[in-house]
Homo-oligomer: A and B are copies of this chain.
Amino acid sequence: MKAIILAGGSGTRLWPVSRYGLPKQFMKLDGERSILGRTIERLLKVCAIRDLHVITNEDYEFHVREELRNFSGELENNIILEPVGRNTAPAIALAVKYCLEKLKCRQDEPVLICPSDHVIKPDEKFVAYARQAGAVAQKGFIVTFGIVPDRPETGYGYINAGARLPPQADGKDGFDCFRVERFAEKPDLKTAEKYVASGKYYWNSGMFAFTPGVMLAEFKKHAPVIGKRLEKSLSAMTKDFSTMPNISMDYAVMERSSRAAVIPLKLTWSDVGSWDSLPEVSAPDEKGNIKIGDVLDIDSKNSIIMGGARLIAAVGVKDLIVVDTEDALLVIKRGQAQRVKDVVALLKAGHRKEVMEHTTTYRPWGNYTVLEEGPRYKIKRIVVKPKQRLSHQLHHHRSEHWIVIKGTAKVFVDRKARFVHENESTFVPKSTLHRLENPGKVPLEVIEVQNGEYVEEDDIIRYDDIYGRSKTA
């Protein structure tokens, strides 16, 4: 079985923690591993390392690479790159093509597609469902995974289950499986209540299992524009990817196909669609509070208080959500967390950096954190991963002091190389070619003090960048 994780989404409904530059799938909800990381971990229990791939786009490529590397060096390159972010149908089509051409996937081998930003527990239950779905897929079905609803949620699409599928999925072994009667869009509350009462409707979790042979046929039949592209080579398909129709898998195929099946999942599932849904994945205490970080609470109730390094003191608050990050704080009434999108829209319209990136910005070679900015100066902590290096570059409007606080740097200034060790420093004058490299085996940490009449990121001219980035961006 192949497993493909869709990790190209750029949702900001969990702002200020999720931002365009680092969306939900990369959030560490449990403080340890990202949601994507948990998804990789779960799917590695379903398939072999060589059979697990993540599809994403250029913006998130090195984040995904880092997540994969955390598990195994062998996984690091299991990335399928979308040239641009598109909807699920083009992404899945690309993944199918990739499986066939690059992974020599057989036409009848099951392929499992999973979003990267859903929380599912426990892994063991999911693994059993996934295996069952693979078996059903090999009988010619496109299997969807339905979540048994515990409330009349109006924010999800529903799957209406039809006839039971015999005999390999007759419920005797603990599994149910049904033909899909129809897919229902997000309902109003009254309709949702009817769905839940019927016992025949499930939430659409956005996961699929199918064989390439079936999927190629269904694309051809129901989404011929995509089906035609699938007849071409992977490289041709990739080249023309930006002209793919921007539609979802449900819309392109599932709602039209007669081969759709659904397996109801009885496990903990959440798409963590807003801060209001956090209690689905993080258990509240006896007062209904979820507290993460350095929180001092006196008499608060039913509140979510989520911080980082900063101390948060909460007194007597009720039904409140507080999310604190280095450079932005959100305080929102519980039950209204959907309105975070309004905040994000306003910030975006105001070109506020707080909606794009955190104070820490991730780069292929590591990351940097702006510690302080003032007139004519900027102070950064720069972390360079082992064996990585920044581009050869120069700045016309600023000079830079580098002080190594951890590890050893190899520094090129005016093409002269030297090593700078912990507690040593070096100086880079304006308009001088320089490069910073970590030749060692532990992360290099450098404090950079920039001085000059203009200290913005776009005062940079790059030469021979090993990550292929353009000269001035």
Q: What separation, in Å, do the CA atoms of A89 and B427 have in the docked complex?
A: 59
A331 touches B312 (CB 8 A): yes
Contacts A339-B316, A447-B379, A449-B447 known; A331 to B331 CB distance under 8 Å? yes
Q: Does A314 contact B (CB under 8 A)?
A: yes
Q: What separation, in Å, do the CA atoms of A244 and B316 have in the docked complex?
A: 40
Q: What separation, in Å, do the CA atoms of A322 and B322 have in the docked complex?
A: 10
Q: What separation, in Å, do the CA atoms of A374 and B369 have in the docked complex?
A: 13
Closest Cβ of chain B to A293, distance in Å, is 10
A346 touches B405 (CB 8 A): no
What is the 8 Å Cβ interface bit string for chain A, positions 304-341, against chain B (1 contact, 0 not)?
01010011111111101010100111111100100110
Q: Does A432 contact B (CB under 8 A)?
A: no
Q: What separation, in Å, do the CA atoms of A381 and B352 have in the docked complex?
A: 26
Interface centre among A305, A347, A374, A379 (most CB of B within 10 A): A379
Q: Does A58 contact B (CB under 8 A)?
A: no
Closest Cβ of chain B to A350, distance in Å, is 8
B315 touches A331 (CB 8 A): yes
Q: What separation, in Å, do the CA atoms of A316 and B275 have in the docked complex?
A: 14
B328 touches A311 (CB 8 A): yes
Contacts A339-B298, A371-B379, A425-B425 known; A312 to B333 CB distance under 8 Å? no
Q: Which residues of B contact A463 (CB under 8 A)?
A: none
Q: Does A391 contact B (CB under 8 A)?
A: no
Q: What separation, in Å, do the CA atoms of A310 and B336 have in the docked complex?
A: 22
Q: What separation, in Å, do the CA atoms of A406 and B372 have in the docked complex?
A: 14
Closest Cβ of chain B to A384, distance in Å, is 16
What is the 8 Å Cβ interface bit string for chain A, positions 353-391, against chain B (1 contact, 0 not)?
010000000000000000110101101010000000000
Contacts A312-B331, A329-B324 known; A298 to B451 CB distance under 8 Å? no
A371 touches B371 (CB 8 A): yes
Q: Does A133 contact B (CB under 8 A)?
A: no
Q: Does A342 contact B (CB under 8 A)?
A: yes
B310 touches A327 (CB 8 A): yes
Q: Does A100 contact B (CB under 8 A)?
A: no
A381 touches B376 (CB 8 A): no
Copy tally for this chain in the complex stands at 2
Q: What separation, in Å, do the CA atoms of A311 and B376 have in the docked complex?
A: 22
Q: Is the interface of A mostly helix, strand, loop or mixed?
A: strand
B296 touches A406 (CB 8 A): no
B298 touches A313 (CB 8 A): no
B425 touches A405 (CB 8 A): no
Q: Which residues of B contact A379 (CB under 8 A)?
A: 371, 379, 381, 447
Please name the residue on chain B nearest to A309 by beta carbon. B327
Q: Which residues of B contact A314 (CB under 8 A)?
A: 330-332
Closest Cβ of chain B to A344, distance in Å, is 9
Closest Cβ of chain B to A372, distance in Å, is 5
Q: What separation, in Å, do the CA atoms of A342 and B316 have in the docked complex?
A: 12
Contacts A377-B405, A422-B451 known; A331 to B347 CB distance under 8 Å? no
Q: What separation, in Å, do the CA atoms of A51 and B311 have in the docked complex?
A: 44
State which of B316, B318, B343 has its C-beta within 8 Å of the C-beta of A296. B343
Contacts A317-B333, A372-B381 known; A403 to B449 CB distance under 8 Å? yes
Q: What separation, in Å, do the CA atoms of A25 and B399 have in the docked complex?
A: 41
Within A134-176, which residues are at the interface with B (CB < 8 Å)? none
Closest Cβ of chain B to A252, distance in Å, is 35
Q: Which residues of B contact A318 (CB under 8 A)?
A: 333
Q: What separation, in Å, do the CA atoms of A330 and B449 have in the docked complex?
A: 32
Please name the residue on chain B nearest to A303 by beta carbon. B331
Q: Does A16 contact B (CB under 8 A)?
A: yes
Interface centre among A354, A371, A372, A405 (most CB of B within 10 A): A405
The 7 A-B residue pairs with the shortest CB-CB distance in the complex, in nearest-first order: A316-B333, A315-B332, A423-B451, A377-B405, A311-B328, A316-B336, A371-B371
What 7 new A-B contacts, CB under 8 Å, besides A298-B343, A311-B352, A372-B381?
A296-B346, A305-B331, A314-B330, A316-B336, A317-B331, A320-B331, A401-B403
Task: Provide a sorted-by-A list of 21 A–B residue pairs whose CB atoms are within 8 angstroms.
Answer: A296-B343, A298-B339, A298-B346, A310-B328, A311-B329, A312-B328, A313-B330, A313-B331, A314-B330, A315-B333, A315-B336, A316-B336, A318-B333, A320-B320, A322-B329, A324-B329, A371-B371, A371-B372, A374-B405, A379-B447, A405-B449
